[in-house]
Amino acid sequence: MSPTSETSITDKKKWYKQFWPWFLITIPVCSMILSFNMLRFAFDGQDAMVVDDYYKQGKAINISLEKIQAARALNIQTELNVTEKDVSLRFISGAPQTGAALRLAFYHVTQAPKDQTIDLFRDAQGIYRGSAENDLTGKWQVALLPHDQVWKVQQTLSFPSNDSIAFNP
């Protein structure tokens, strides 16, 4: 045998220059990184859908039902139009005599940070108008209240809608 045909130990690649050791090390390292991230999300994340004080929430629901009954007693019937960010509300019956501004609250059914409140002001034709800060596309829990919060009209609605929506208690 000639000395050139022999492979010596120094001719072999060192372990850290080969592909397979790094491939085998990468799998557990990636799983550890993902596990630590999942733990961080589990400890830092808050569930906005869970209420800590459910008893007070239940009492608030009863008060809300009384306000809805007050709206029925006043025979409040409205038509709601929502186009992108513009909102208009026309009273068919039970319009407030004072003409004071109304508050229209949009509560997103799954994402609390998207919630927003719009103040509606009456124009010369008696139509209450306002504009939203963000897009109102999607499913919303919509509540209409006067600023003194004597009555309340509430429904679950989906937008966009081409026609006006009967928004009644």
Same-domain status, 25 and 85: no
Q: 120: which DSSP letter? A: E
Same-domain status, 81 and 149: yes
Same-domain status, 139 and 81: yes
Inside any domain, residue 2 = no
Residue where a domain terminates, one of 29, 44, 59:
44
Q: What token pair was written down for 161?
A: 């809608």
pLDDT band at 40 (very low <50, low <70, confident <90, very high): very high
Q: How many CB atoms lie within 10 A of CB 61?
A: 10
> What CATH code is carried by the domain that includes residue 111?
2.60.40
φ and ψ at 40, to 5 degrees?
A: -65, -45
φ and ψ at 49, to 5 degrees?
A: -85, -15
Same-domain status, 89 and 147: yes
Same-domain status, 82 and 130: yes
d(CA 109, CA 126): 30
Which range of residues forms the domain containing residue 23? 18-44
Q: Which residue has the higher pLDDT, 4 or 93?
A: 93
Same-domain status, 97 and 140: yes
Same-domain status, 38 and 107: no
Q: How many CB atoms lie within 10 A of CB 117?
A: 14
Q: What is the pLDDT of residue 72?
A: 87
Inside any domain, residue 141 = yes
Same-domain status, 35 and 84: no
For the chain, helix, strand, coil in percent to 5 are 35, 30, 35
Inside any domain, residue 61 = no
pLDDT in tens, 45-90: 776 666 666 666 766 666 678 888 888 888 899 999 988 788 999 9
Count: domains in the chain: 2
Say whether the peptide bond before residue 113 is cis (omega within 30 degrees of 0): no
d(CA 93, CA 46): 43
Q: pLDDT > 70: what percent of the chain?
A: 83
